[in-house]
Structure 1
């Protein structure tokens, strides 16, 4: 059985040797250790395996007799042997890529769930601030160190900066002026919300396959940060009402776009087409290809409204609309 022992020690040479010697004499094996600097004392955390029949009381007494104070002993799993930075990085991955709730991940990392210490002295409170200003409160019987507080806030800030836990945005008034810009990770939830508001037909024209909803965080993240290109969004007020991905497939630059049903027919697609063409030109592309479902004539009209003379070809049931970029003015990234 593994235990986490947390104790406050005098910050002096030799104290760890005394702890290790006491553990060795009692058959308690130290498997891992973390140091949480404080002043004028230091808080150390040990992961240990204890002999059969040992409990939290015996372990606490062992460390107290060796010079420890404010000792707490908690049963833990083998995951506690993984170093803390790796566990927190894995936690970020689980939130962003697997869609887990940030609070649930933090509670696992901070080990707030039972079993807790037997000697219950009340809860220490950890208040973490989300990107939207709301507060996530986590508490446990064992006091939080300043290092743990900093790690937890850093994780929550990181996933919040990537758009996680930002409320879905409701439509804003039409009188706002549309703006085309490059997408960022902060647009993840807004792009997911855009897809949720689009009809099945609009989504099929964009992806050429039925799109399974609701959209996952992983897919939305790829839509705002493609591996080999750039994503564009149309923002009206606080809402993202259009989206497109410009990317290089082998040597061919392609662009696929999506405009929310309620905003179609108002020139937003034309704005996206012009911006995509300028950015493709800045990357040295001689031409740009738009791909859509075979029966979608709206995109061809959109390309024409942008001032292009296009070559139209059919490939595997889809329409490829290719335009030359020789007369297009480059648009730098940013």
Structure 2
């Protein structure tokens, strides 16, 4: 049986030797080791192979007898033995290919979860990363080390750079090709709980502020659609801003957008809007929450 073990050991010579001695006497093999330095203590992550019949509690007890504190034990597979620098390179390549996959990729990288915590489950540590003005959170039972926080921030900076470059290239393409229908500028029309982008009498984009959530009356879902022929021209960004202001007018503190996890347009759109948001990915669903309390109201 393979176990991924996180523990804090005293930062003094011989701490790892004591742990290795206890493992050897118990017939437990140390197959992998990562060390995260600290000021007064060191966090170690080990992959242990235990004899048949061992459980998480027995493995934790072994490490505690060797001086380990804050022990967290989870079952794992041979994938945990993958070279760590290789994992980070692969994660960076995946993010470069699809920046919207950032929450899912970084959650796997840190053996964490990107979806909200179960309120009835064990307490979890949260690592928050910022891409532009968008906050991405991942969580797990084992505490994140300062080293992992630094690595997460570096990954978030990578995504910000990629999206900024993509936005700049898109802006150049739009200017050079005059993609706005020969210079046509959409008119934005507010009608009740919706905002539409209209060109020559034709609706090319629509954002609808829906009724408040039953479980959270201060939050309103927003459904946003842009005609494929008119995408990548800033229409979605303008509609998002207008819908957020309209939701504030209707009494909301926050809006929520839900879409497919592979939707490549959402994160750049939120970043371009300059609004603070929180993004989460769970299974095949991407959820973005944006605070609207500080926006100017929008009326028809």
| Structure 2 residue 166 is matched with structure 1 residue 188 | yes
- Structure 2, unpaired ranges of 5+: 184-300
- 1:141 is aligned to 141
| Structure 2 residue 180 is matched with structure 1 residue 262 | yes
Residue 157 and residue 99 in structure 1: after superposition, are their counterparts in 2 closer, same or farther (change >3 A)?
closer
| Structure 2 residue 64 is matched with structure 1 residue 59 | no
Deviation per CA, 1:173-213: give whole Å up to 9, x if none.
xxxxxxxxxxxxx332454x67xxxxxxxxxxxxxxxxxxx
1:240-251 to structure 2, matched below 5 A, reads 240-242=174-176
Deviation per CA, 1:10-54: give whole Å up to 9, x if none.
111111111111111111111111111112111111111111111
- Structure 1, unpaired ranges of 5+: 164-185, 195-232, 235-239, 243-258, 266-334
TM-score (norm 1): 0.49
Provide the secondary structure at the position in 1 that maps to 2:12: coil
- 1:332 is aligned to none
- CA–CA distance in 2 between the matches of 1:98 and 1:55? 38
Provide the secondary structure at the position in 2 that maps to 1:7: strand
Check the 8 A contact 1:88/1:155 in 2, yes or no.
no
Check the 8 A contact 1:124/1:141 in 2, yes or no.
yes
What is the CA distance between 1:133 and its match in structure 2? 1.6
What is the CA distance between 1:84 and its match in structure 2? 2.2
- CA–CA distance in 1 between the matches of 2:99 and 2:161? 15
TM-score (norm 2): 0.54
What is the RMSD of the two structures over their aligned residues, measured on CA atoms?
A: 2.6
Answer with 1 or 2: which has the greater Rg. Answer: 1
- CA–CA distance in 2 between the matches of 1:98 and 1:128? 17
Deviation per CA, 1:111-130: give whole Å up to 9, x if none.
1249x9xxx65111111111
Check the 8 A contact 1:32/1:46 in 2, yes or no.
yes
- 2:195 is aligned to none
- 1:124 is aligned to 125
- 1:36 is aligned to 36
What is the CA distance between 1:77 and its match in structure 2? 2.3
Provide the secondary structure at the position in 1 that maps to 2:90: helix
Check the 8 A contact 2:7/2:69 in 1, yes or no.
yes
What is the CA distance between 1:68 and its match in structure 2? 0.8
Residue 43 and residue 99 in structure 1: after superposition, are their counterparts in 2 closer, same or farther (change >3 A)?
closer
Deviation per CA, 1:122-172: give whole Å up to 9, x if none.
111111111x22211222211111111111111121122111xxxxxxxxx
Q: Which has the higher contact order (CA 8 A, sep 6+)?
A: 2
Check the 8 A contact 2:99/2:162 in 1, yes or no.
no
What is the CA distance between 1:97 and its match in structure 2? 2.1
Deviation per CA, 1:280-321: give whole Å up to 9, x if none.
xxxxxxxxxxxxxxxxxxxxxxxxxxxxxxxxxxxxxxxxxx
